A and B are shown apart, each in its own frame.
Chain A
Amino acid sequence: MADLAVEAEGLVKWFDKIRAVDGIGLRVPAGSIHGVLGPNGAGKTTTLRLLLGILDPEVGWRRILGEDKPMRAAPRIGYLPEERGLYPSMTPREAIAFLGALRGLPLAEGRRRATALLEEAGLGAAAAKPIRTLSKGMAQTVQLLGTIVHKPRLLVLDEPFSGLDAINQQRLEGLIRAQVADGATVLFSTHVIAHAERLCERITVIAKGGVRFDGTVAAARDRLPSRVQLRTRQTDGPWRRALPADATARDRDWSFALPADGIEPVLEALIAGDAGIETLAIERPSLHEAFVELVGEPVPQEAEVAA
């Protein structure tokens, strides 16, 4: 089990009379990118806070980087909270060094690394200005740099993409991949499926405080049958009996789940009935569709517009 960066079992957390987290378990192999997906209010943030030791669970246990008490692993963890927080009067350089110092990095070393990190991120000119004068996106970048300045082995990012424009989202994806290439483990939560689909090897889908799915992205998609998209020349005929009962029709476009015995019997009936096949496509379901199926309610697919 030594190769698990995060391990949790049966976590339960009450807020007053509500069970915000209800028996969630999680296993994140070291060196992987793991996504925690779920609709708003599913318990993602509470789960991350439980894992980090900001909250203690009423029931269940967790082990972070081999430590039963997450606070002991704190110097090796980087955490970007959903609600970003920096002291507005501090300069980016000082803020990054301060965040590093909280995790045990000597202040002088933190300042030196901060200067280099800011330079790399194209914020060299802003390094000595108070954070309150920076744009929101810049401040967010500063906080992210403060999260990685002490070279953590585990990065926990809560909704890291929210509030970023497309360019910065791309940059963040690059940064996450670079951290993993250096041997770190990344655990992040999101309600935007596209990021998880691009980045993650494994995902955990959470809804209403419980785990709905845990596994690879491919396995999540495999839970749904492929969809068949068909366009015929004829609108009606005896061949229609060969289509599954739940097929939806719009004019001459048909859509239905791939039958268990394959597409061939349907094709034979269509050819025999002279339906006239214009287009035919068998599509794997997207993670988005799998997610909706798992969670039982729709979520927005498009990337969040910068707030």
Chain B
Amino acid sequence: MNRLLAAAWVIARRDYVATVFSRIFILFLATPLFPVLFGAMFGAIGANQDHSAPHRPVVALIADAPATRALAEAHDRLLARLGDDVLPDLAPMPPMPDDAARALLRQRGRHYVAVLGGSLAAPRFLLSSRAPDGTEEGVSLLVDTARAATALGQAAPKPVDLGHRTVRAGADDEPSAGDRVGLASGAQTGLFVLLVMLAGMSLSTFIEEKSNKVIEVLAAAVPVDAIFLGKLISMLAITLTFVAVWGAIVGIGLVAVKPAMLAHLPVPAVGWPAFCVLVVAYFVGNYLLLGAVFLGIGSQAGSPREIQVMALPVTMFQLLLYGLAAAGTGHPDGWVAWAAAIFPWSSPLAMLARAAELPAIWPHLLALAWQTLWLVVALRFAAGLFRSAVLKTGDTRPWWKRGFAAQ
């Protein structure tokens, strides 16, 4: 056993160093930046278009100087309280005949949606048919405010500062079942996306040794089980390196930029510390279980072309597992959830959802033990398949053709 682990360690260390300390790993590490860059690029294009289009409606104001000043002051005060987007802009204009005012509303280019004329006491209002809803209400509030200010003069009270004391939303802080299902689905989906991105790598990890013939040296020096275990460990370590780097970046980013987002997450049923441990445990568990299978499949491939052909079925398989686990999310004690929790390859996703929804810890210990058992089975099976199909060792004849002489 010690020799097996020592040999696996030697192989894992070689693979890890060869991968992580290569230039191509930087590209691998940078991959998540691509969607971010694309987002930023399209965002920039969108912002550009916003600038070129008139975005705020404008009301032409034809009034004498005191009325204009009163309306502008009211406008400022309301915007300071209610935000920039609630009222149209005001554009003071020289007096003009009615026809000219109408022509203003028909004019292309500046986005005049209304003309406010007359006096504060008797306003005249022309509204364009293309004015957004609420323009008239907005302008009438503006006129009301200006009138009140003018009527009161110096007697107008100063704007009030209320101050406030925050009261927590009540004794019932326990998140609702619905919130927790949301958390369960979110965690499941996040894990699944990571696995789809990263587990497929293990398909191609044997191609290197096969093409450069190192496999013969490895197979002569150490048990095949150790080769598989070593490869799996190195893949996991590479993946965890990737996840750690991006986990840290995203985590620090969230805390720095939008801490409120974290504060509003519903508390999982098992509590945050246990949930975080389980997220890591189930990620590792699921990665290893999938990796063992993919390693086994990949070790049978003779060429990179065969690996490419296998990539699609393998992704489909993962989608199926995700579908099974996700189907049980709403009802953690329903038969679908139980089936998903018992089938070893969907078990980590299903159990993670359970951790968000139900507080009991012992099913998780059981599930982790169960998954470990299946990991050993899968790894031994993959190594056995490799020995018989590729190294052509063991009796390769089907069992019904084996004679007693061979026993």
Contacts and interface: CB of A to CB of B under 8 A. Distances in A.
Interface of A: 14-16, 49, 52-56, 58-59, 71, 74, 77, 79, 81, 83-90, 98-99, 101-104, 107
Interface stretch (B114-122, B209-217, B333-341): B209-217
A83 B397 contact: no
Most buried by A among B219, B223, B395: B219
Interface in B197-226: 208-209, 212-223
Interface in B215-246: 215-223
Contacts of B393: 54-56
Given A79-B220, A98-B10, A102-B7, A58 B212 contact: no
Instruction: Give the top 6 A-B pairs by smallest Cβ distance, nearest first.
Output: A85-B213, A102-B221, A85-B214, A81-B216, A55-B393, A101-B10
Contact of B394 (A56, A86, A90): A56
A56 B392 CA distance: 9
Contacts of B212: 85-88
Contact of A84 (B7, B11, B213, B222): B213
Given A81-B217, A85-B213, A85-B216, A102 B392 contact: no
A104 B209 CA distance: 20
Most buried by B among A16, A49, A88, A102: A102
A99 B14 CA distance: 11
B222 A74 contact: yes
Contacts of B221: 74, 79, 99, 102-103
Contacts of A55: 391-393
A49 B216 CA distance: 9
Contact of A85 (B10, B215, B222): B215
19 contacts: A54-B393, A55-B391, A55-B393, A58-B406, A59-B406, A71-B222, A71-B223, A74-B221, A79-B217, A81-B220, A85-B216, A85-B217, A86-B214, A87-B208, A87-B212, A89-B22, A98-B10, A102-B218, A107-B10
Contacts of B214: 85-87
A14 B397 contact: yes
A54 B215 CA distance: 10
A290 B394 CA distance: 36
B184 to A, nearest CB: 44
Given A71-B223, A87-B14, A58 B395 contact: yes
A76 to B, nearest CB: 11
Contacts of B79: none
B6 interface: yes
B65 interface: no
Interface residues of B, number: 31
Contacts of A15: 392, 396
Contact of B220 (A52, A84, A101): A52
B207 to A, nearest CB: 13
B155 interface: no
B406 to A, nearest CB: 5
Contacts of A79: 217, 220-221
Nearest to B388: A56
Given A71-B223, A88-B212, A102-B217, 17 more contacts: A14-B396, A15-B396, A52-B220, A54-B391, A55-B392, A59-B405, A81-B217, A83-B213, A85-B209, A85-B213, A85-B217, A86-B212, A87-B18, A87-B212, A89-B18, A89-B22, A99-B221
B5 to A, nearest CB: 12
Nearest to B208: A87
Most buried by B among A52, A86, A101: A101
Interface in B1-43: 3, 6-7, 10-11, 14, 18, 22
A47 to B, nearest CB: 14
Chain A contact surface mostly: loop
Nearest to B15: A87
A146 to B, nearest CB: 8
Interface string B370-401: 00000000000000000000011111110000
A86 to B, nearest CB: 7
Contacts of A99: 217, 221
A71 B396 CA distance: 21
A102 B10 contact: yes
Nearest to B21: A89
A102 B14 CA distance: 11
A55 to B, nearest CB: 4
Contacts of B396: 14-16
Contacts of A14: 395-397
Contacts of B208: 87
Contacts of B392: 15, 55
A15 B213 CA distance: 20
B96 to A, nearest CB: 80
Contact of B219 (A54, A59, A77, A84): A54
A101 B215 CA distance: 15
A255 to B, nearest CB: 45
Nearest to A85: B213
A55 B389 CA distance: 12
Contacts of B405: 59
Contacts of B391: 54-55
A40 to B, nearest CB: 18
B131 to A, nearest CB: 69
B25 to A, nearest CB: 12
Contacts of A86: 212, 214
A83 B216 contact: yes
Nearest to A84: B213
A89 B221 CA distance: 21
Contacts of B394: 56
A89 B21 CA distance: 11
A88 B209 CA distance: 11
Most buried by A among B391, B393, B396: B393
Contacts of A87: 14, 18, 208, 212, 214
A244 to B, nearest CB: 47
A40 B98 CA distance: 108
B233 to A, nearest CB: 15
A16 B10 CA distance: 34
Contacts of B209: 85
A115 to B, nearest CB: 19
A175 to B, nearest CB: 18
